[in-house]
Amino acid sequence: MYLFGYDWPSLHAALNDFPAALLFVTVLFDLAAWKTRRASLDAAAMWTLWAGVVGGWAAVVAGLQAEDAVEHSESMHKLMEQHETQALVTMSVFTVVLVYKLWRRGNLQPVERIALRALSVFGFIGILWTGAIGGDLMFEHAAGIPSATLDLEIKERAQSHHHHHGEAGESGEHGHDHDDDEDHAH
């Protein structure tokens, strides 16, 4: 299925970074508002929380759909399940914080603020963990990359790419191989 020109794995990849960043800064804004007692930072925390929760659930829906659309091994499936569970827990935490703040209309008692701040910090840790698992899926297991595409890339890499003098990676960065020094002579 394609939505906005994206298949589900590509849509999940396109949607997941922005809400994670918004929820990440939500916690930073909230902590800064608590330390400085600035209403503007409290408002910024609320707006980024709103946008992060809405966008985060869109990323979760795309991720749930992507799970059935990508080729994967059993070990990758276990990681996908862990990623899914952590994403659902993390989004639930931030959703509870948002709903509670909306229900109380900003009239929070000090103990409520502390509890919500602690819950947000827990969610912050959840974002980091969810992202780490997602990164492992992508960069260690090539999640979302069709086997035929991956096979072609492996064959091309085996042919060993070389840079010419003056190109990026000249000194061996990025794992590129180089022929003898005479290729790099002036």
Question: pLDDT per residue over 117-164, tens digit each?
Answer: 999 999 999 999 999 988 888 888 777 777 888 888 888 888 876 667
CB-CB contact of 70 with 37 (8 Å): no
Is the confidence at residue 186, as pLDDT, over 50? no
Is the confidence at residue 62, as pLDDT, over 60? yes
- What is residue 2's predicted lDDT score, i.e. its pLDDT? 56
What percent of the chain stands above pLDDT 90?
41
d(CA 91, CA 87): 6
Domain borders along the chain are: 56-148
CB-CB contact of 133 with 79 (8 Å): yes
**Beta-carbon count within 10 A of 85 CB:** 12
DSSP 148: H
Q: pLDDT tens digits for 4-16?
A: 667 877 778 888 8
Q: pLDDT tens digits for 103-128?
A: 988 788 889 888 999 999 999 999 99
pTM (2 decimals)? 0.76
d(CA 145, CA 147): 6
H/E stretch holding 2: strand 2-3
Return mean pLDDT, the chain.
83
Phi, psi of 2 (to 5 degrees): -120, 135
Closest CA to 67 of 132, 9, 114: 9
> What is the distance between the terminal CA atoms of the chain, rounded to a whole angstrom?
53
d(CA 44, CA 36): 13
